[in-house]
Each structure stands twice: as structure tokens, then as C-alpha cells.
């Protein structure tokens, strides 16, 4: 996967292996259905004040959930527009319209937080440090979740770097 800016100045990911494209499509799965325990992290309480928390549950959290759903819908449209070369095994290209950058950053963060909470991914694992007690096993849902969280983190970093007006050819093998 290679990141750069398109001629229009939009964040663009190209040479996306079909395997990675498949993982990208998991971004828009409904986290509340897919990761019920993990999604508890998405709507945390605003503090300890009971009155504020009750009001938050009734009025703010439904708004936030609608906000996340709306951002996910925008991302889903961009994913549907992802282009593939000729042939089933050819790489994909994804261009993110600049007006959807926030939607992508939020949606990527939603899925990263839901996965990390659902599978209780620790800080050591998230930082890519492995120990003999925590081998990376991609045959498990947990191992796959770690790959997704790190892939989506890479994408977030790329998109944010483009927002600063700084771009280099950031390549991920």
C-alpha cells in the first residue's frame, strides 16, 4: 500500500493488495452489532456527576451515535468507489475526498477502539512489541484484530500527515 496526495490534493492510497482491501471494508461494519463489548468504549460517561450522566445518556449519546453512523455512511460510499485494476488479484486504489477526511479519521478510530476493547489489546501489543507470552497468531480473531488496528492506525497517520501539508511517499509493504 502506498500513500500520496492525488492531483486534486486528496489523500490517496494505491497498490492496495486485495487482502488489505478486504480488511478495509470491515471499517464500515456496525460496531454496535459486530463488537457489543468493544462498543462500550465508544460512548463513555462524561464524568462522575450522576445528573449529568443521566442527561448524557438520554440526549447526548444518541446524538453521538447518529454522528458516528453518519460518518460511517460517508466512508462506505468512498469504499464503494474504490477502484481495482483489471483482474481479481490486482491492487485497488482509494481516493478520499477532502471533505470526507474527518469522517475517515473518526470511523477509523471507532473501529480501532471497538476492536482494541473487544479483544483487550494491551499497550505493549499496540506498540508492536511482542513477548513470548503474546505471540502474534493470525489464525485467531484476536491476532487479526491486532493487524486491523495497526493497519487502520497507519491510514490515520497518513491522512493526518496530509492535513499538515506534509507528504512523503509513505509505503507499507
Partner 1 sequence: MIMPFLGNSPGTLQSPETTLSELLDPPWLVVVHNDPVNLMSYVSMVFQRVFGWSRERAQRHMMEVHTKGRSVVWSGGREQAELIVQHLHGFLLLATLERAPE
Q: Is 64 in the site for partner 1 (CB under 8 A)?
A: yes
- 27: contact with partner 1 by CB under 8 A: no
Is the Cβ of residue 6 or residue 161 nearer to partner 1 in the bound state?
Answer: 161
Of 7-15, 77-85, 130-138, 151-159, which segment contacts partner 1 by CB under 8 A? Answer: 151-159
Q: Which of residues 152-171 bind partner 1 (CB under 8 A)?
A: 153, 156-157, 160-161, 163-164
* Inter-residue contact 122 to 82 (CB < 8 Å): no
Q: Are strands 2-5 and 11-16 parallel, antiparallel or unpaired?
A: antiparallel
Q: Does 48 bind partner 1 (CB under 8 A)?
A: yes
Residue 112 in the binding site for partner 1 (CB under 8 A): yes
Half-sphere exposure of 53 (CA within 13 A, CB side): 6
In angstroms, rounded to a whole number, what is the distance separating the alpha carbons of residues 45 and 167? 37
Give dist(CA 115, CA 22) in Å, integer: 16
The residue from 116, 118, 148, 162 that contacts partner 1 (CB under 8 A) is 116
Using the minimum distance from each CB to partner 1, give the nearer residue, 5 or 126: 126
User: Length of the chain, please?
Assistant: 173
Nearest 5°: the CA angle 157, 163, 164 is: 95
* Nearest-approach distance from CB 109 to partner 1, in angstroms: 5
> Rounded to the nearest 5 degrees, what angle is found at the Cα of 78, between the Cα atoms of 72 and 79?
85
**Where on the chain is the footprint of partner 1 (CB under 8 A)?**
42-49, 52, 60, 63-64, 67, 70, 105-106, 109-110, 112-113, 116, 121-123, 126, 149, 153, 156-157, 160-161, 163-164
Amino acid at each position: 500500500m502506498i500513500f500520496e496526495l492525488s492531483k486534486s490534493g486528496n489523500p490517496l492510497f494505491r497498490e492496495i493488495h486485495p487482502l488489505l482491501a478486504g480488511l478495509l471494508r470491515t471499517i464500515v461494519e456496525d460496531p454496535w452489532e459486530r463488537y457489543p463489548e468493544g462498543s462500550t468504549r465508544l460512548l463513555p460517561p462524561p464524568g462522575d456527576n450522576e445528573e449529568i450522566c443521566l442527561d448524557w445518556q438520554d440526549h447526548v449519546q444518541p446524538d453521538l451515535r447518529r454522528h458516528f453512523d453518519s460518518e460511517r455512511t460517508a466512508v462506505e460510499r468512498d469504499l464503494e468507489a474504490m477502484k481495482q485494476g483489471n483482474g481479481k488479484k490486482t491492487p485497488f486504489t482509494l481516493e478520499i475526498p477532502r471533505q470526507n477526511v474527518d469522517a475517515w479519521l473518526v470511523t477509523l478510530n471507532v473501529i480501532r477502539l471497538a476492536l482494541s476493547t473487544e479483544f483487550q489489546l494491551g499497550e505493549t501489543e499496540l506498540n508492536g512489541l511482542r513477548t513470548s507470552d503474546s505471540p502474534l497468531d493470525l489464525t485467531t480473531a484476536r491476532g487479526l484484530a491486532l493487524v486491523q488496528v495497526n493497519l487502520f492506525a497507519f491510514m490515520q497517520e497518513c491522512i493526518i500527515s496530509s492535513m499538515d501539508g506534509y507528504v512523503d511517499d509513505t509505503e507499507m509493504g
